[in-house]
Amino acid sequence: MNRILIIGAGGVGGVVAHKCAQVPEVFDEIVLASRHLDKCNALAAQLPRPIRTAQVDADDPKQVAALIRQIQPNLVLHVALPYQDLAIMEACLETGVPYLDTANYEPPEVAHFEYSWQWAFRERFAKRGIMALLGCGFDPGVTNIFCAYARKHHFDEIHEVDILDCNAGSHGKAFATNFNPEINIREVTQRGKYWENGQWIETEPFAIHRTFDFPEVGPREAYLLYHEELESLVKNLPGLRRIRFWMTFSQEYLTHLRVLQNVGLTRIDPVMYEGHPVVPLRFLKAVLPEPSSLGENYTGKTNIGCLIRGVKNGRPLTYYIYNVCDHAACYREVQAQAVSYTTGVPAMIGAKLMLTGAWRGQGVFNVEEFDPDPFMAALPQHGLPWVETFVDELL
Ligand code: NDP
């Protein structure tokens, strides 16, 4: 009998809870825990079968370990914030329970993320005989698995990867972010970075952009950003010569972001306000819409995929694989928008593969280190169909 403990009751946590509830043959019991119990209970009330809920401050490894001891789950699925990664991993080590997340660790006081902090747990997880699966959302997550699948089935060697993330939806708000506002704004305002010929190349934020014609969506302007899957794919895709990440933004979003930056509201250092230290970005998060609240009137689609170039049997090959997801259809199914949906579904699939033993290991892993086939087969079964094409030139 499997019992899963989901930590984080936001946009993504809601989707994970819904999707786990749809698969009772794997997830016999579901427990949803988060900082505020009322949010867990509100989500629980939407689900087709009863689940348990709990309150936890996941910044505190002792609280998480105590909760794990009380619940006795077979897996902890962490979809709270990246700040909690290390605390939850420590608690999993202490209690001997496997771990899965969708975003790599970043310290609250520095807008910087990288895998080194979590990869450093590898030996301890291996010694404890348990598995940690990192970055099992869509990007990172499915995009890494698309690369592993391409390498397994279509290429002898992959030379170039462009990860293309397009949200062509409209939520009707002047400004909102599709996942946690604090994490989102920290991510998109940092310097751009990509990897070419064995070295990292940095750019000014939003300095490089181009128009891509996305299937089922149309032409959109995409901006080169640094994204965490670049780090693990550079390590795990032998023969790679260049890898870049592109994300679309509307002019409306970029204008709002520029103004917020210019007036200091994206700062992450505390400022004194009426005798109290206030982090401007945290205050901004408090006044922006929550990602879980955006779904109701969201229209349009996302298209996220990988454009891959390399060689097969000595011949150059260009391959494009992507998923298209419709915001309104997601809302009808699980009362969430497509960015939460495309993250929550892969997290549930990763948990399913771990619990059924299809993916097993001892240590800390990124998703591209496992056989992509069972994951690729599960994606369309659980709401994320994918399309692959062989194209001459898309760029
Ligand atoms: P939300 O802000 O909607 O949800 C975050 C949830 O975590 C909230 O319920 C929040 O509680 C809870 N939380 C925050 N701090 C703590 C804490 N100390 N203890 C317990 N619970 C806490 O964000 P999203 O659901 O949009 O995103 C969740 C995660 O998914 C993020 O890490 C994000 O980076 C990741 N993500 C990954 C993607 C991928 O493709 N790989 C794409 C999109 C997101 P409260 O409501 O009280 O604040």
Residue 324: the pLDDT is: 98
Range of the domain at 147: 142-334+384-390
CB proximity list for 110: less than 8 A, separation 6 or greater: 268
Mutate to test the pocket of ligand 1, among 5, 12, 15, 36 (most ligand atoms within 8 A of CB): 12
pLDDT at residue 212 is higher than 80: yes
Q: What is the pLDDT of residues 49-97, one digit of tens each?
A: 999 999 999 999 999 999 999 999 999 999 999 999 999 999 999 999 9
| Pairing status of strand 192-196 against strand 157-167 | unpaired
32 lines ligand 1 (CB under 6 A): no
14 lines ligand 1 (CB under 6 A): no
Same domain, 150 and 129: no
pLDDT band at 111 (very low <50, low <70, confident <90, very high): confident
40 lines ligand 1 (CB under 6 A): no
Same domain, 194 and 329: yes
Considering the domain boundaries, does residue 372 fall inside one? no
Give pTM, 2 decimals.
0.96
227 lines ligand 1 (CB under 6 A): no
- Taking the C-alpha atoms of residue 245 and residue 161, their distance in angstroms, rounded to an integer, is 8
**Once rounded to an integer, what is the mean pLDDT over residues 363-372?**
98
The residue from 103, 134, 165 where one domain ends is 134
277 Cα to the center of ligand 1, angstroms: 23
Distances (CA, A) of 386 to 15, 63, 215, 302, 383: 19, 40, 12, 12, 10
113 lines ligand 1 (CB under 6 A): no
Q: What is the pLDDT of residues 19-53, one digit of tens each?
A: 999 999 999 999 999 999 999 999 999 999 999 99
CATH of the domain at 232: 3.30.360.10
pLDDT band at 236 (very low <50, low <70, confident <90, very high): very high
Residue closest by Cα to atom 41 of ligand 1: 137
Contact assessment for residue 266 and residue 305, using Cβ atoms and an 8 Å cutoff: no
pLDDT at residue 370 is higher than 80: yes
Considering the domain boundaries, does residue 90 fall inside one? yes
What is the torsional sign of CA 243, 245, 246, 252? negative
CATH of the domain at 113: 3.40.50.720
**Once rounded to an integer, what is the mean pLDDT over residues 135-163?**
97
Considering the domain boundaries, does residue 228 fall inside one? yes
143 lines ligand 1 (CB under 6 A): no
Considering the domain boundaries, does residue 238 fall inside one? yes
**Once rounded to an integer, what is the mean pLDDT over residues 111-140?**
97
**Once rounded to an integer, what is the mean pLDDT over residues 264-287?**
96
Considering the domain boundaries, does residue 63 fall inside one? yes
Considering the domain boundaries, does residue 378 fall inside one? no
**Once rounded to an integer, what is the mean pLDDT over residues 99-107?**
97
253 Cα to the center of ligand 1, angstroms: 21
Residue 264: the pLDDT is: 96
- Counting the structural domains of the chain, the total is 2
12 Cα to the center of ligand 1, angstroms: 7
Of ligand 1's atoms, which has the minimum distance to the CA of residue 178?
Answer: 26
282, amino acid identity: R
140 lines ligand 1 (CB under 6 A): yes
Considering the domain boundaries, does residue 209 fall inside one? yes
Residue 40: the pLDDT is: 98
Per mean pLDDT, which range of 134-138, 365-369, 389-393 is the poorest? 389-393
Considering the domain boundaries, does residue 342 fall inside one? no
Q: What is the pLDDT of residues 285-299, one digit of tens each?
A: 999 999 989 999 999
| Percent of the chain whose predicted confidence (pLDDT) is above 70 | 99
Same domain, 330 and 188: yes
pLDDT at residue 394 is higher than 60: no
Residue 392: the pLDDT is: 61
